[in-house]
Amino acid sequence: FQKALDIYEQTDNYYLMAQTLEDIAKVHYFANNIEKTFEVMFMARDIYRGKYTGGERVGNVRDTMTFYSSLGVPYSHIGRLDTATKIYLLYQKVGKENNFEKTDMLVHLGILARCYRDMGMYDSSFYYLREGKQYPDLNLSIKAIKNSHDMIMADNYKLQGENDTAIYYYHRAF
């Protein structure tokens, strides 16, 4: 990654610099270097927000939201579920406004539901899982994502001591 970053810096390819920094941040995350993860992620953010000499922005709305989605993961990891939740709520808002792909939006509904589950806010978790059920089964990916949502639903019920309902959703997911 460092060699690629050096090449992108030499050629003023800021977009690929930002993407490479995100990749480097992910390596730090998986190596449990959380502080370094944030440091490198914010370097990428600053590049996405920048402009080329012609005035064109380096990153578009989609790039920015993908960045923030990735940023939610380390926030969740360190227990900052409130911050991660705000990121994923913003993702839903901007995604709807910009007509992001349905599968992507559905994945992020599940992430949001898990954040609320992990904060013990089951009603909010159920709300976003039910919102996901409204998506039409346009392809197998959407069906698979809905199955993963059933797993979250089951976990919610299990954590609330409603084991029979949890078992129902576990079976439904499988």
Per-residue pLDDT, 111: 96
15-71 confidence digits (pLDDT tens): 999 999 999 999 999 999 999 999 999 999 999 999 988 889 999 999 989 999 999
Using pLDDT thresholds of 50, 70 and 90, give the confidence band for residue 102: very high
Measured in whole angstroms, how far is the alpha carbon of residue 45 from the centre of its chain?
Answer: 15
107-138 confidence digits (pLDDT tens): 999 999 999 999 999 999 999 999 999 999 98
The per-residue DSSP string of 94-109 comes to HHHHTT--HHHHHHHH
Contact predicate 157/166, CB 8 Å: yes
Measured in whole angstroms, how far is the alpha carbon of residue 130 from the centre of its chain?
Answer: 19
138-169 confidence digits (pLDDT tens): 899 999 999 999 999 999 999 999 999 999 99
Mean predicted confidence (pLDDT) in 69-79: 93
